[in-house]
Structure formats: structure tokens, C-alpha cells
Amino acid sequence: MIGNEINIIADIGGTNMRVAQINEQGNISNIEIYACADYAGLAEVLTNFLTQHQLLGKKINACLAIACPVDKDLIVMTNLPWQFSQQALKAQLHLHQLVLINDFTAIAHAIPQLSVKQKVQIGVGDVINGKPISICGPGTGLGVANLVAIDTAWHSLSGEGGHVDFAPVDQQEIEILKFLMTKYARVSYEQLLSGLGLEQIYQALSFIKNGMASQLSAKEITTNGLANHCELCAETLAQFCRVLGSFAGNLALTLGSYGGVYIAGGIVPRFIDYFQTSDFRMRFEAKGRMSGSNQPIPTFVVTEEQPGLLGASAYLKQFMSDQNKTTNTIKN
């Protein structure tokens, strides 16, 4: 809470929605998790939270991180049958301020807030404060965002980086690309670096080695690969880490990410010990005559359980600070 204002934040996914409050000390409190399927829409969930914590009728600022585009007034959720008008939602809930951001923008803004306990470094390198930061997150899809510091504020550069063309770097990856081109007219990195991507790498390797595209779920591949119960699953996991290393290294080269490259998303944090000994870091640095550019750049896996809420909190604090500065400038 800032002054007499109440600040709430939310991280809205396709299955669950997390809502919380920023307390007087600036920390996240009163975290509630709601199953989206139990509610008809977003307004119902937020009303439930405000009622539960006796916040109705107060001066409320809200920052909502949501897994869909937020550049128009009408929000149509990608993985939920929910749609709403931003202006109508603000009026219905009598909010003082309503800010909507993409879910990966929220994760990006969480990065500068992370302590050493909320991330694990992979390989060598040191963060240079104030330098650009890149984030990618293999999960249901492949999210990408970048952060740049302007004056004293962080600004997220969002886009669709997960959909850039997949670029194989060795013979096996060329064969994987050939297999995927029988399924798609164009192959992006997301077709390999996601839950579906794990399954498609497995299918491709099965076809390359056995002439038949066998199928397993991402969970089965990961479980069997980590336990060394299946040679093909183990190679799939190793190949996933190699491709992710190349992709993360490309991000670092593109932006000069000397503030670090961070791996978020729901997949990699499940096997960090394996990831640390994989070829990820080798491929991150393997950029030919530009290898020296990537070698000093640190790489991390985000282990914070609520990066969306943490980032939404950071974004709202920065937004409200900018609003207050503007108001004071006008008054003066």
C-alpha cells in the first residue's frame, strides 16, 4: 500500500489465476490462487478477492499480468473463454488505476528483483549492472522478452522472439529440421523449445534412428531421460538443452545482454541439476569468432515460484512512481 491507496496484482494463466496485495512494506502478501474454470470471468475472480480481504470501496490500483496481447481495450484470452473490456472492468470494479501487461513482460520485470536464492547460475560470467537483460521461457510455448535500463527505470522490450526461424548447427539438428519440415511449412524455435517441442524432438530422433516416429508425452520423456531408463529419451533431453543453449546465445548476441540471460518457464526448473551438466552453456558460448562476446555473459535459471506476481509488483510500483512524478510536475 502506498499512502491510502491499495495495490493489488494478478498473474492470470490458462488454468490458475494468482491474486495478491502489495502491503505497506512493499512486499507481496495475501496470495490467493483461483482455478479459472470455477469462474465465469475475470471480474468475478477479482471481486471475490476484494471481498475476501475487505478491500471493496477503497482506492485500488491493479496490475494484471495476462497470457495474451494487451494492446487493445478488448482483451480476448488465448487459453480461456474469457474476454473483457479494460475500460469496462475498471469501471465495474471502481478501480483508481488499471494496468494490464503481458505475462512475459511481468516475468521480465521480476528479473532485477531476484535474490541469489531465487535463481541458479549456469556456468561462468558476472552480471554488469544496468546492462540489457534477456529472458526466454520454454513452457507451453517459448516466451521471450528483453529488459533495458533507461535512467532509473527498467523497460521491457516484448515481441515474438520464440517464433524466429530454427537454425540447426550440426548434422543431427539438420535431420531434425528435415523431419519437422514434413509437418510444418516453416519451423520456429518454439517447435523444439516447449513441451510440444520436447515431444517433437523425440519423434524426430525416433524417426532418424528407427525409421518410425514414436510418441511419448513431455513428462514421460523427461522422467525416463533423467532416470536413464530410455536412451532415446535421454538423447531428447540432451538435444533440448543444446538447442536452448544456441537460442539463448543468439539472444545474448542480438542485444548484448551483459546483464545476464535468464531461463524461465515451467520446463527447465524441473531438472536444474541435469541442466547444469548439460551442453547448454557450451552451446551458449559456441558462436565461432563471436564466442568471446558470449563467454563473460552469465546465464541463470529462474527458480522463484511466483515470478509473474513479483514482476507485476515491480511494474506497478514503477508505474505509480511515474504517475506521481507526472502529477507533481503538473502541480509545480
Mapped onto helix, strand or coil, the DSSP state of residue 203 is helix
pLDDT on residue 2: 45
By the 8 A CB rule, do 207 and 215 touch?
no
Residues of the chain with CATH 3.30.420.40: 6-102
Neighbours of 126 (CB within 10 A): 11
pLDDT on residue 328: 56
pLDDT on residue 95: 95
Separation CA 295–CA 292 (nearest Å): 5
For 228-246, write each residue's pLDDT tens digit: 999 999 999 999 999 999 9
For 173-210, write each residue's pLDDT tens digit: 999 999 999 999 999 999 999 999 999 999 999 999 99
Cell of 66: 495476462
Q: Which residues contact 131 (CB under 8 A, 6 or more apart)?
A: 149, 256, 257, 258, 259
**6-102 has which fold?**
Nucleotidyltransferase; domain 5 (3.30.420)
Residues of the chain with CATH 3.40.367.20: 115-303
Span 272-299, average pLDDT: 97
Return the percentage of the chain with pLDDT > 90, whole number: 83
For 210-221, write each residue's pLDDT tens digit: 999 999 999 999
pLDDT on residue 329: 57
Span 119-148, average pLDDT: 95
pLDDT at 332 over 60: no
Residue 124: band (very low, low, confident or very high) from pLDDT cuts 50, 70, 90: very high
Separation CA 24–CA 62 (nearest Å): 15
What predicted TM-score, i.e. pTM, was given to this entire model? 0.90
* Highest CATH level, class, for 115-303: alpha beta
- Average pLDDT of the residues of the chain: 93
Separation CA 230–CA 313 (nearest Å): 43
pLDDT at 33 over 70: yes
List the one residue out of 262, 243, 240 whose CA is nearest residue 136: 262
Residue 79: band (very low, low, confident or very high) from pLDDT cuts 50, 70, 90: confident
By the 8 A CB rule, do 76 and 83 touch?
yes
By the 8 A CB rule, do 39 and 77 touch?
no
Q: Give the lowest-confidence range in 35-39, 68-72, 258-262.
A: 68-72
